[in-house]
Structure 1
Amino acid sequence: MIHLILEYLKFLSKSSNQHGVHSPFVFNLVTKCFYKKTDISLWKYFSNIKQQLLDNKTVIKVTDFGAGSKIFKSNNREVSKITKVAGISNKKAKLLIRLVAYFKPVNILEIGTSIGLGTSSIKIGNNESLITTLEGCPETSKVAQELFKKNDFNKINIITGDFNETLPKVIKNQQFDFIYFDGNHNKKATLDYFDMCLPAINNNSVWIFDDIYWSQEMKEAWSEIKNHPKVTVTVDVFHWGIVFFRKEQEKEHFKIRV
């Protein structure tokens, strides 16, 4: 926790708002998406779904393929507690809803379904989207499937299994408008997934990497992603790193307070 506080203070000293942005594309993103209020009806929709998970006292056995939890000491976890501790935060959910509503991506990939709260944010942002979401743990996958069924979310395909096996199959001969990387908070896995997904980009693809300041390893992974020759624009909002591949843009990196 102290590590993240120190990183955030450093981030604040180097970040700016729309007044420090000279790219029209990023200026519009900041003013028309980042700093726009979340539609209240969409937020009520999300809040209702989150409450369903908060009310769920079922205990499940979590299989963790990622960097592990800094909070949970046992793999037997109550769904309501997973929601409180590991579910997408309200701040992130609001921004995710706004981003999806702003870009209106159709073909979406999520790496790390968990209990389905982040997936719900994406679906609420654009109900017409076709979402493929990957989850390693069978028990959390079941919770997510039940949540989607209960709320009549269509066009969501959950694929359960090790990402190293499921991701290459999902990416093959596909293009994704939007990819949300939230499945494994370590350097090697993050960079491996980045490389695996590169064949699936188009000029307007939007990629989001969660928790880029989680550890020194994740900071290093983010630095390598920024420097990749196919990446043109990145926006660091601290809790996320957002990546664009727009060939018409000059290579630029932004740190924006949200």
Structure 2
Amino acid sequence: MKKTAILFPFLFLATVLALQDCNKSDEKSNTFIQNNVNTNTITILPLGDSRVEGATSNSVSYRYDLWKNLISNQWNFDYIGTQNDNTTYPLLLGKSFDPDHEGIGGSETEDILENIDEVLESSGTPDVVLLGIGGNDLVRNTPVTEIVDNLNQIIDILQNDNTNVTIFLERIAPGRSNVMTDEATESYNLFLENLAVLSLEQSNETSKVILVDMASNWTDAYMADNLHYNQLGAKEIADRYFQAIVNYLEK
């Protein structure tokens, strides 16, 4: 397992992200995924907490809007996971929404780490993982060192399960501004800084960890409550995921 350094300087984050953009040609080395876009079915595991789960009384998951984006652009894919979304969604191009996912409300990185082997055994091996986690850890004051260590172990397991897996890792959106105290913002920013390091250290020749920036240009208008997305926010997350998927996976 790779050990990501903590207390990574905040000002260097922009440089790290810029390096990722500059190295897109290197990231294209994952030829397994690229050669299967729009041909063989790509299995996608949406993995995380209540923001992934959605379907509560006042919050919405990005999964349906991302599904619409992919279907509309003729991607051949299959959501997988042990959870089932029983919400009724409109058909699109005669297709029914794929309800499978692995988003569980209240989950922390430790919970995913404890359950990921069972999830993979039950759901099958994903080609792509959409990993959005860490918010509950931060709310419960879990040390950033522990969150990062858990994430490293989760990614190790995913990469051992599939050496060609592509992991899209969220720079998670913040909470509503009224809950982002100075202390909460400091921990949140430190977490995001360390994700930049983690993504570089955990990427290898066949399996990339790609940061998806959900944090920048975020607004309270996207929030249903202090922590969860409304419909506008869910669509914004879906669109950012879709753009990242297109930029990295499409030929």
- TM-score of the superposed pair, with normalisation by structure 2: 0.44
Return the structure number with greater strand share. Answer: 1
TM-score by structure 1 length?
0.43
